[in-house]
Amino acid sequence: YKPDTGPRVRVNQVGYLPAGPKRATLVTEATAALPWELKNSAGTVVASGSTVPAGTDASSNQNTHRIDFSSYKKVGSGYTLVADGETSFAFDISGDIYTNLRSDALQFFYIQRSGIAIDGSLVGAKYARAAGHVGVAPNQGDTDVPCQAGVCDYRLDVSGGWYDAGDHGKYVVNGGIATYQLLSEFERSKTATDVRAARGDSTLRLPERGNGIPDVLDEAKWELDFLLRMQVPAGQPYAGMAHHKIHDAAWTGLPLDPAADPQPRELHPVSTAATLNLAAVAAQAARLFANYDAAFAAEALAAAKSAYAAAKANPDRYALVSDGNGGGAYDDSNVTDEFYWAAAELFITTGDAAYKADIDASPLKTANVFDAGGFGWQGVAALGRLDLATVPNLLPAADRAAAKASVVAAADAYLATQAAESYGLPFNARYVWGSNSGILNNIVVIATAYDLTGAAKYRDGVIEGVDYVFGRNALNHSYVTNYGEVSPQNQHSRMFGHQVNADLPNPPTGSLAGGANADIQDPLAAKLLKNCVGQFCYIDDIQSYATNEVAINWNSTLSWVGGFLGDIGDG
């Protein structure tokens, strides 16, 4: 298998913001600088210069040069970059290139909803479908789900929420980080230093538009209601804890409409990690819904407090890696970070000294919680730190300053990485499952440093950082559906099964693929990508779930970054 990587001049295929950094990467054997030319749509050379040799890129083993045409700022479409006899894909220079990114990335969540029919008049007829898992045959439904054998002896209504990814499972830990990021992108609009875009009602294509509540909160609430249903009822063993997950008893094949899934659904054991995810996002929701739905805000706060107390009473109920039949494991045997995150969210919302004492007692209080690979569902301390730094709270001034300084220091480290990377991305860790979310989460940290400081270098770091996601990479492949010349069309999904059944749609515009994964854990990738190097470990095939799935926690970071990019206008 040899991928078609197109022209050796690699650009952001979507384009460049007029006032932002404009960089590209040339793949070449040449070791000395080469001339480059920027051409407009008429073929006229409008700028020129010399490449800067950058040596061998460790994440692709390619010899690369950098091209910088940032000083050219004229708006237009159909630009190309020419160097070493190669002509790049065409791109725009425009302040509009990211206008729809946030809403496109968020539309994915509505289409992933469980327990509700998807309205084609909102999102396109091809995405219309019947409600899944509502107990209508052949579904056994999520409205009355029994526990797995030996786990407990009750049944729960755990309907609603989002399907996690290409499967039909619903997992509290991954729902937690995804919901956090939707709530965070809304919360940012209240606290950030430079926000222009609306985050209000009727800004998304949702059935709830027009209800007076900001749409992103409506979307988050669809999952929050599900997360609250996953809490063990009073009077049962482990009351207040959250079940880790609910999914099919056995893996299903693809394609498969959610409404046609015949598998029995099962509640899996409670876990401390799931319980703390519930506590954290419910606490966050309590403060954000207070002005819109006071009853829900109160319900969320009560759930957050009871979950947190239950987690403290049961601090080591770990989700096991072995529990992966019919659904993902989302295993986690270190919940120090979940405790820190939940305490942070509860403290921000309530100001209660008991939560502050738990933050102070956490080994993570002053630790560097930002690593090279990016935060994610298994490592969530960064979420607490970002919020302690940005959301108004009652931390003593010195602690608040330390939280802010830690975010800025992490962003500086990512900028240093970016400056050394041939493809201009703030990431030099191993490419693992969902690498695109690790890359985008590093960009979230840089964006937060911009919100905290207003320093242009962070804004520029975000703008250049997303080039990779939109095609400036070793494969010359955008990772967002219908963004760029060559974009993912065949992500692993039981719903978007066009590759295996032409009657089904491709994923909707704005769907992020998991991305390059050097561990190639699915059989197709293992076969076709054997011995691949870093950025090359990706294939746009529906069978490659390890490199090319869709997932809520990946689109949540894309929507967060999309909101930021929409806010900064021309860059």
Residues carrying an active site annotation: 540, 549
- Cα–Cα distance, 384 to 541 (Å, whole number): 36
Which residue from 92, 164, 215, 223 is in contact with ligand 9MR, where contact means CB under 6 A?
164
C-beta of 164 vs 460, nearer to ligand 9MR: 164
Q: Which is nearer to ligand 9MR, 247 or 459 (CB)?
A: 247
Query: Sign of the C-alpha dihedral, residues 563, 564, 567, 571?
Result: negative
Q: Taking CB under 6 A as the rule, does residue 329 contact ligand 9MR?
A: yes
Candidates 261-269, 294-302, 328-336, 383-391; binding stretch for ligand 9MR (CB under 6 A): 328-336
Q: Which of 27, 227, 551, 565 binds ligand 9MR (CB under 6 A)?
A: 551
Q: What three-state secondary structure class fits 45?
A: strand
Region from 357-365, 417-425, 480-488, 543-551 binding ligand 9MR, contact rule CB under 6 A: 543-551
Residues 362-391 that bind ligand 9MR (CB under 6 A): none
- 338 in contact with ligand 9MR (CB under 6 A): no
226 contributes a contact to ligand 9MR by CB under 6 A? no
Using CB under 6 A as the binding rule, whether residue 173 contacts ligand 9MR is answered as no
Q: Which residue is nearest to ligand 9MR (CB)?
A: 328
Shortest distance in whole angstroms from residue 380 CB to ligand 9MR: 13
C-alpha distance from residue 273 to each of 100, 244, 345, 357 (Å): 34, 8, 15, 20
Residues forming a β-bridge with 66: 25, 52
Residue 336 Cβ, how far from ligand 9MR at the closest point, in Å? Answer: 19
Instruction: Show the DSSP H helices in 351-479 as ranges.
Output: 353-361, 381-390, 397-420, 435-453, 456-465
The token pair that represents 328 in the structure block: 């993902």
Per 3-state DSSP, the chain is made up of helix, strand and coil in percentages (nearest 5) of 35, 15, 50
Segment interacting with ligand 9MR, rule: CB under 6 A, options 159-167, 200-208, 307-315, 388-396: 159-167
What is the helix (H) or strand (E) element at residue 527, kind and residue range? helix 523-528
Which residues 6+ apart lie within 8 Å of 43 measured at CB? none
Task: Name the token pair of 497.
Answer: 């099964």
Q: Does 434 bind ligand 9MR (CB under 6 A)?
A: yes
Beta bridge partners of 242: 231, 271
> 271: how many CB neighbours lie within 10 A of its CB?
30
Q: How do strand 15-16 and strand 91-93 relate by DSSP bridges? A: parallel
Residue closer to ligand 9MR by CB (options 245, 317) is 245
Minimum separation from the CB atom of position 381 to ligand 9MR (A): 17
**320 touches ligand 9MR by CB under 6 A:** no
Q: Quick check: 167 binds ligand 9MR (CB under 6 A)?
A: yes
Q: How big is the chain, counted in residues?
A: 571
Q: Which is nearer to ligand 9MR, 319 or 452 (CB)?
A: 319
Smallest gap from Cβ 525 to ligand 9MR, in A, equals 12
Nearer to ligand 9MR, 164 or 187 (CB): 164
Residue given tokens 């692993």 in the structure block:
492
Q: Is 223 in the site for ligand 9MR (CB under 6 A)?
A: no
Q: Are 376 and 337 in contact (CB under 8 A)?
A: no
The region of 21-29, 50-58, 218-226, 327-335 touching ligand 9MR under the rule CB under 6 A is 327-335
Residue 76: partners with Cβ closer than 8 Å, 6 or more residues away: 40, 41, 92, 93, 94
If one counts every other C-beta atom within 10 angstroms of the C-beta of residue 90, the result is 16
Task: Considering the complex, state which of residue 62 and residue 181 has its C-beta at the smaller distance from ligand 9MR.
Answer: 181
Supply the DSSP symbol for 102.
H
DSSP-derived secondary structure for 121-188: HHH-GGG-BPPSSSS-TT---SSSEEBPTTT-S-EE----SB--BSSS-EEHHHHHHHHHHHHHHHHH
Stretch that binds ligand 9MR, among 194-202, 260-268, 322-330, 493-501 (CB under 6 A): 322-330
**DSSP letter at 232?**
P
- In whole angstroms, how close is the CB of 162 to ligand 9MR at the nearest point? 11
**CA distances (Å), origin 159, targets 230, 264, 288, 515:** 9, 14, 23, 30
The verdict on 163 binding ligand 9MR (CB under 6 A) reads no
Residue 204 amino acid letter: L
Q: Does 169 bind ligand 9MR (CB under 6 A)?
A: yes
130 interacts with ligand 9MR by CB under 6 A:
no
Q: Does 195 bind ligand 9MR (CB under 6 A)?
A: no
Alpha helices per DSSP H over 211-352: 215-229, 272-289, 294-313, 336-350
With binding defined as CB under 6 A, does residue 541 bind ligand 9MR? no
Q: Given the complex with ligand 9MR, which of 67 and 552 has the nearer CB atom?
A: 552
User: Which of 21, 328, 438, 471 is in the footprint of ligand 9MR by CB under 6 A?
Assistant: 328
CB of 260 to ligand 9MR, least distance (A): 19
Out of 165, 173, 216, 558, the residue judged to bind ligand 9MR by CB under 6 A: 165
Which is closer to ligand 9MR, CB of 383 or CB of 568? 383
Q: Should residue 273 be labelled a site residue for ligand 9MR when binding is judged by CB under 6 A? A: no
Applying CB under 6 A, the site for ligand 9MR has a residue count of: 12
Considering the complex, what minimum distance in angstroms separates the CB of residue 164 from ligand 9MR? 4
Q: 191 or 521: whose CB is closer to ligand 9MR?
A: 521
Report which of 398, 403, 363 is spatially closest to residue 383, judged by C-alpha positions: 403
* Window contacting ligand 9MR (CB under 6 A); options: 43-51, 165-173, 196-204, 468-476: 165-173
**261 near 195, Cβ under 8 Å?**
no
Q: How far is the CB of 534 from ligand 9MR (least distance, A)?
A: 17
Inter-axis angle of helices 552-567 and 101-111, nearest 10: 150
Tell me the closest approach of the beta carbon of residue 155 to ligand 9MR, in angstroms.
24
Write out the residues near ligand 9MR by the rule CB under 6 A. Answer: 164-165, 167, 169, 328-330, 433-434, 545, 549, 551
